[in-house]
Chains A and B, each alone.
Chain A
């Protein structure tokens, strides 16, 4: 995956080409400018100034657009700062990370841009913009910077508070632009999700990816037609929840993974499963069988509720294999990647509340030598306390903003 550009949707209200001066010194290098005649002068000047220019909805070749959601914990502008709650009572987090990874899995040679404008009733702050930038960039994509109307107008008028928000936004975008190598790092995962992600399987498989991410599970997205001998390498489990049985070759590949010690979580549509029932591990919703060195968990019913599937699969696999555990983080997400040479891991930590945590701790599975923590917009690394554990390291974060990157040397 690559991220060659930092794109921005040019506000229609900015008709004066002089407004391009705001972009001077920022990482923004690709502008999506409307086609109206009132913006023709802007288009010309932008091209002269060296910006790549395209039209909204018509990205350049090599870019996949993901129609995303405004990321973060939903906070309403009115009504006492009400926060939407999910089925467990926890704040409901919207994130585009899973959609970026899916686009990358389906189009591995493309860059992925996220088109997500601030929701009309959302409370948009500098922190919201940081989350919007980081929620895409952490997963290797790029958010098409899209300003809400009041901010765009205030910026054009040169208002100082708007300029402060802009400065933070631009710094966050610049941080990711400066780490150009990170999008090429490979995702680390515990579970592989095998599907065609289309047709009748589209809703369930995509919602499963979304909800697995919210459950803190790290996934490898495995499109059915791209499975290779290394697809299941280092995974603990594979989920196959499509509505039809796998083709014979795919079935053999998955069963080979199970025979080697992996776990398959699947649906009755998978078909007959050999092996022996596991009597001492009972689950009311799954029938569990031992198969050579591995296990197969077949749902008693077909795929119905992706929320239940996501959360139950996390427990079937076990939290023992969590790549990341958080404490005092509030609504958080993470994405773990490893450098192509295997010598460095970068863990992206996202805190979706409107302020970062004061005393969060995070446990990263694995053995590492050194950690550097970076927060978006701050070029120097942040000092963190480092507590080695058995097979893991626990890192104590000082008060941090909504995004932290941990660089760990193997």
Chain B
């Protein structure tokens, strides 16, 4: 009995010390840390990728959704979907320097090239907030979007391409003017044969995924089973290509050779060459409810996260074939991140308080980082190919 109480006290003290993160500091550069937003405990766990240990938990707003880091400014930005705010945290001190009020349901964001401001989608009200990361204020709220989901900057940062979950087109924003200046159609308008008032589930465009050189963008349209290839410098649509059923979104390999698209309707994965004529080089077996794709070990392997089957499907990107799967611990895999050197994959398991660690070379689960917080939702690293769902 006494021992049990003692254990509780020790556990509470340890947890308290993690939450009192103000006393701690991170070592720059920040590219060896993994940032994990925890939806249910309203904090961000910071892990050290060198040791796979929890370093700190930083309190933020309610239902944190995505984390982004401006390495240039040494700041972490966290969207708090329920609070309609974004938290800006100084990484050197782990102190929250500002909590900026945004529009309804801010979720996804992208830091502009140079790192001085961020674009944040308020999906609940169809707007994008531009937030200065030097002044910690919202500088502009742009209207005219349709359930704005993920977004991508052009290489020079002058244009912002927004995937509209509620439409079959990509909106293009002139950042300096703070206005939508173009809408690029992707696939034909959705065909509905139903009586008035019939509930309809739609899935427009989740994201415009750019090649690492920033020149091309790939926008998959879920309801239309197609993907558009865009020139991000000129806003031109270069091609429209057919996918499997209900494609989720495109994920780029780190070398930019391929785009990998999970088709959740028919549980397949399409792999496209990013070289014209943007040919589908393989369509491989996937699994149920795929929510993320990561690539690693010199871009030889793709790891496809299946939320529905609680596992990772592995694809050989040299032979273009399925090469097995990794069963995950009990919990629900959400999204993941591969370290910038391509050697380790971290996957958030929202049903537990854990992060799964995968060795990309030996293609196996090598560890579980426990007690990172309640409902870990994603994993993000500086210098990695980050994404959010």
Q: Do A and B come from one complex?
A: no
Where the two chains meet, the residues of B that have a C-beta atom closer than 8 Å to any C-beta of A are none
Where the two chains meet, the residues of A that have a C-beta atom closer than 8 Å to any C-beta of B are none
